[in-house]
Amino acid sequence: MISLIVAMDANHLIGSGGDLPWHLSEDLKRFKKLTTGNVVIMGRKTYDSIEARLGGPLPDRISIVITGNPEWRRDGVVVSHSLSTAVGHARLFGEREIFIIGGARVYAESLREKIPDRLYITRVEGEYTGDTWFPEIPDGYALTESEAGTQATYEVWERKS
């Protein structure tokens, strides 16, 4: 199972200066619960923002980072040079769920190529300012779950067969 997980505001905003424009502990706990023990695929800028906060990769997850820089390396991280190669690497880790966690270019490519089977979308209440947006959800996905939280709505979308 390949899933995409994202939090966005009413205007599809997902980032501001390399970080989230909000801090919602409820959403961060959901992210941790869903991704722990699994594989996460991200772009290098997304990894840099995680490393700046945590000092390294997300704990208890296998991190695969996509970068065009052939010299880039980090301890505890699998390096890939394309999304398709990253997905291939992720599949080597067995029956774990694979999560695409950002950034905007990785999200856009994965949706364009119809890679995710499932989308976990957090719709954060309100409008924020920032510089990075999530693309429109393409045809071929259907909303299957929606749950209201305290400051967001949590949706699950499944790719139609």
| pLDDT tens track for 34-67 | 999 999 999 999 999 999 999 999 999 999 999 9
* Domain spans, the chain: 2-159
Query: Is there a contact between 8 and 122 (Cβ–Cβ < 8 Å)?
Result: yes
The pTM assigned to this predicted structure is 0.95
Fold classification of 2-159 (topology level): Dihydrofolate Reductase, subunit A (3.40.430)
Query: Is there a contact between 56 and 33 (Cβ–Cβ < 8 Å)?
Result: no
Query: pLDDT tens-digit profile of 127-140?
Result: 999 999 999 999 99
Angle at 109 between CA 113 and CA 155, to 5 degrees: 85
Q: Which residues of 8-39 are buried (b: 16+ CB within 10 A; e: fewer)?
A: bbeeebbbeeeebbbebeebeebbeeebeebb
